[in-house]
Chain A
Amino acid sequence: QKEVEQDPGPLSVPEGAIVSLNCTYSNSAFQYFMWYRQYSRKGPELLMYTYSSGNKEDGRFTAQVDKSSKYISLFIRDSQPSDSATYLCAPARSNDYKLSFGAGTTVTVRA
């Protein structure tokens, strides 16, 4: 079993729709949860970062962590064509600066 499971999609939605992305993980020691966005042929960049369980909102983006079920989510409201990218979840342990990456979900927002 992989440490982090993420459906690679692809996911295609119309502009303005809500995009829902999620990952599951197996290691209960994970305490930091990151979402990276990667545009085609580019390096990933950090989009959202949360610590432990709970929600975090940043503009149109909301990250949720449920440690009890080992489930992490990213929601994109009012999606735009510029949101078309691959989104990778990346949980991490405290005091361990290595990250474990999900497979990435490729999202296309149609104008």
Chain B
Amino acid sequence: DGGITQSPKYLFRKEGQNVTLSCEQNLNHDAMYWYRQDPGQGLRLIYYSQIVNDFQKGDIAEGYSVSREKKESFPLTVTSAQKNPTAFYLCASNQRGTSGSNEQFFGPGTRLTVL
């Protein structure tokens, strides 16, 4: 089955700790994305990557870092600098450069709670 997996499903972090959220896709998509979702605010783009070894900041990148060493993997690190990290984090991917639909495929999400 092709798709996007995220792990863990639930994550608890103490204040001051860095945590890394995993995102893996086997859809052979070039582009991958990280979003943060808070109640009533929709999806806000944190980082995105169009190709391996390249990534760009989204709208709310402060306090987050990413890497894209492999096409299928795009991990997100939530650092201690992120002031309010408790949220639902979603990873997505789509195929770069296709005309027509820009459909993004989403993973099941990781709910991060800071204690």
Q: Which residues of A contact B (CB under 8 A)?
A: 4, 6, 8, 32, 34, 41-46, 49, 51, 88, 92, 94-99, 101-104
In the complex, per-residue mask of B80-109: 1 if CB is within 8 Å of any chain A CB, else 0 = 000000001010101111111111111111
Flag if B101 contacts A101 (CB, 8 Å). Answer: no
Flag if B42 contacts A45 (CB, 8 Å). Answer: no
Flag if B111 contacts A8 (CB, 8 Å). Answer: no
A53→B104 CA distance, assembly (Å): 21
Q: What total of A-B pairs shows CB separation below 8 Å?
A: 59
Flag if B106 contacts A32 (CB, 8 Å). Answer: no
Give chain B interface residues in 24-44, CB to chain A under 8 Å.
Answer: 31, 33, 35, 40-43
Number of chain B interface residues as a range: 20 to 34
A96→B97 CA distance, assembly (Å): 8
Cβ distance A28 to chain B, nearest Cβ, rounded Å: 17
Of the candidates A4, A43, A104, the one whose C-beta lies within 8 Å of that of B108 is A43
B48 in contact (CB, < 8 A): yes
Flag if B40 contacts A95 (CB, 8 Å). Answer: no
Flag if B103 contacts A46 (CB, 8 Å). Answer: yes
Chain B CB count within 10 A is highest, among A92, A97, A99, A103, for A97
Flag if B106 contacts A45 (CB, 8 Å). Answer: yes
Flag if A42 contacts B109 (CB, 8 Å). Answer: yes
B52 in contact (CB, < 8 A): no
Flag if B111 contacts A41 (CB, 8 Å). Answer: yes
A103→B104 CA distance, assembly (Å): 17
Flag if B103 contacts A103 (CB, 8 Å). Answer: no
B19 in contact (CB, < 8 A): no
Q: Which residues of B contact A45 (CB under 8 A)?
A: 106
A34→B103 CA distance, assembly (Å): 8
A88→B41 CA distance, assembly (Å): 11
Q: Which residues of A contact B43 (CB under 8 A)?
A: 44, 88, 101, 104
